[in-house]
Structure 1
Amino acid sequence: MIVLITQNTYVYAVLSILSLTLALSFIQKNYRTSSIFVTTSIVFIYALINPDAFEVIQFRIVDTLIGASIAFVAGSLLWPAWESYSINTTIIETLRANRKYLAEINRYYHQFDGLTQYKLARKDAFLQMGNLNAAFQRMSQEPKSQQENIGTINEIVGLNHTFLAAMAALGTFILNRKNDKVSEDFEIILKTVDTNLRQALQNLLHKGPTENTSKEKLEEAYQHLEERFDNLVAIRTAELEKEDFKPIEPELRKNLQVTRLITDQLKWLVTISGNLKRVVNSLENDRSK
């Protein structure tokens, strides 16, 4: 339409620069849109050289159709590489990175050394999560017929996001709060989280299941943590009953924060990892049908 309205070369020059800029901007987000702007930029650039812009448009359309046909035939018949074939491996690597990050959080909570190892594990977990996101985005842009179990995979991606965010929050808190004694309850809950991740991995790898953590022990651990928090609250309540507006002792404040925040984060990690295991099991069951 523009070539019908004006033959001004300055307009063509401005539009070619604008189209090329938009093409580069969209190349990572939406390749289809980027290709459209690449085409328009080429048309306007050639229009600067050859006043007959319709001839350029004609050749560009023909070349695009030929290229698209070759790409479609090669991609569909000769070397198909649908993301649904390889996304299972990406999920496995993501779960492994999450387990390693969780182990580093636990190790650092005990030893408070080896910060470099902790940071590397955290970096790898985020990188693998990024790879999973990219794989899912590629899968969502493929033909509908090749988007096998895309709803379930989308749920796995979302749960991994949430799980990694919860782990990062717990790790950051532990990083800035040195605790001299790690409770047995913490170990039981963290072991439950790791067991859920390991069982999800074993399901994807078609290996035998790992023994679950005792539900009774898990409930006892929850109860002990809640009782510990309630006792701290009772101490603070007793202080206020004796003296209104009494400033809270720094040690008591620290213990309240540590107990409440760590308890909530651990419970949340157990819930998310359990949901992740359930969805992965559902994915494998759907594939086996």
Structure 2
Amino acid sequence: MQTDITGRLLICCPDRPGIVAGVSQFLYNCGANILDASQHSTDPREGLFFMRMVFQLEKADITREQLEKDFQEKVAGPLKMDWHIDYTDHRKQMAIMVSKYDHCLMELLLRWRSGELPVDIPLVISNHKELQQLTEDFGIPFHYLPVDAGNKAEREQEAIRLIKNVNADFIVLARYMQILSPAFVSVFPQKIINIHHSFLPAFAGANPYKNAYTRGVKLIGATAHYVTNDLDEGPIIDQDVARVSHKHAVSDLVMLGRDIERQVLTRAVVAHIEDRVIVHGNKTIVF
């Protein structure tokens, strides 16, 4: 007998009448109370249906394993669903990778310590030592893995081993200034969140604020996205911008940009933690 189990169900399937009714009826038969439901249908040419449903099993005499088995047999299989259920009693493990810049790391650590990010942070990995003391002041293990052209593959394997050893559910690149190899990315598909200091796809690369200044842009921004093998082109989770003018120097753009980076990265991490993101191709549906 389990009590007060809250589950988050994410669904993608071909669009057709009766999907919401079928899922709702199934959960009702299991003794579940639906707390929230959101849905989205694509245009008829693509014909796909996406849904996020939050439900609570209040003293229901069914295990989550049996619920999932029955859901696959009775609902998901016949409706050809790709689906996933996560439960709120599973506290996600968030690994962080960072280089020298501290603003995104500090934002995550402060929000974690205040309880705003309901995750555990089992480790921070960095290719520099500058942020070791900061990390350890929060009581989090810090692993220094310096990277150069000759040891990159070896260091990535060390990082993979460390991340797997703590059973991390996902990884946040809090301004980790290294390009991850396809071999690394393939181990954690759709589980690596990067913050890019630009409103992608504009001004990709290492120095977007200088490029933006040179072009005299009136908007700067930041983009949080899942990492794929295509540099800075993975599915976008969140973005934001700030208005600027000719009066702003490059240093002003950097300062404003870092504020946006902190906010955008936090929103993307929260969306991932709360199971509000469905990845479809190179796009996301964020409920």
Q: Do these two structures clear the TM 0.5 threshold for a shared fold by scoring above it?
A: no
Task: Please state which band the TM-score falls in when normalised by the shorter chain.
Answer: under 0.3
- Name which structure has the greater RCO, CA cutoff 8 Å, separation 6+: 1
Alignment TM-score, normalising by the size of structure 1: 0.22
Alignment TM-score, normalising by the size of structure 2: 0.22
Task: Please identify which structure carries the higher helix content.
Answer: 1
Q: Which has the greater radius of gyration?
A: 1
